[in-house]
Amino acid sequence: MFDLDAFISECRRLAGGAHGPKRVLDLMRASIAEPESVAKAVAPQGPGVGALDAPLFRSPELTVLNVALRPGTVTIPHDHRMWAVIGIYQGEEANTFFKRDGAGLAQANRRTIRSGEAILLGEDVVHAIENPLGAETLGLHVYGGDLLGAPRSMWDPRESREHPYDVPQFYAWSRELAASRKTSARAAAAT
Ligand SMILES: [Fe+2]
């Protein structure tokens, strides 16, 4: 049975030791292999509460978030500047990875993480995520530092220029991107 407090304690212990990110990935894989057990142990977020508003754990060395992605959620590209282990315990999270290209970004590859799976992202990763399903996607995200306090970057959806990460602007641009995708999809369906 998954125990959230024990999971966080073990993440803290492993993250500070040798091969910390890989050890946390192994722990996440073992934990997320029974996704229903994780879902029972992690309280759902209240309405209007974002993952960044209510971290499960936060310290200078580690952040643990319970991230809910509503159906159709799309984010703009962003970095973390620290390693991240992402485990999905309901639904799926489609990742698009980017590499820096001049002043902007170029798409590098895509990978979808499904319920019961986990990945490790290196500290220089730039990605965007989306929930392609008609139901909520839920994941445990572990970061190797204080994600909420760290300076990092995001890229706007129109010019793909780098900006300092700012929570309200991140969500505003992400909503704008989701709306423009819907408009494009409708236009494509009408032709
Ligand atoms: Fe991210």
- What is the Å distance from ligand 1's center to 10 Cα? 22
Determine the pLDDT at residue 103.
Answer: 87
CATH number 2.60.120.10 is the correct assignment for the domain at 4-186: yes
- What is the Å distance from ligand 1's center to 15 Cα? 19
- What is the Å distance from ligand 1's center to 76 Cα? 9
- What is the Å distance from ligand 1's center to 91 Cα? 17
- What is the Å distance from ligand 1's center to 128 Cα? 7
- What is the Å distance from ligand 1's center to 125 Cα? 9
Determine the pLDDT at residue 191.
Answer: 73
3-state secondary structure the chain: CCCHHHHHHHHHHHHCCCCHHHHHHHHHHHHHCCHHHHHHHCCCCCCCCCCCCCCCEECCCCEEEEEEECCCCECCCEECCCCEEEEEEECEEEEEEEEEECCEEEEEEEEEEECCCEEEECCCCEEEEECCCCCCEEEEEEECCCCCCCCCEEECCCCCCEEECCHHHHHHHHHHHHHHHHHHHHHHHHC
Give domain limits for the chain: 4-186
Determine the pLDDT at residue 45.
Answer: 75
Q: What is the pLDDT along the chain (191 residues), one digit of tens a residue?
A: 899 999 999 999 999 999 999 999 999 999 999 999 999 999 887 777 777 778 999 999 999 999 999 999 999 999 999 999 999 999 999 999 999 998 899 999 999 999 999 999 999 999 999 999 999 999 999 999 999 999 999 999 999 999 999 999 999 999 999 999 888 888 888 87
pTM assigned to the model: 0.93
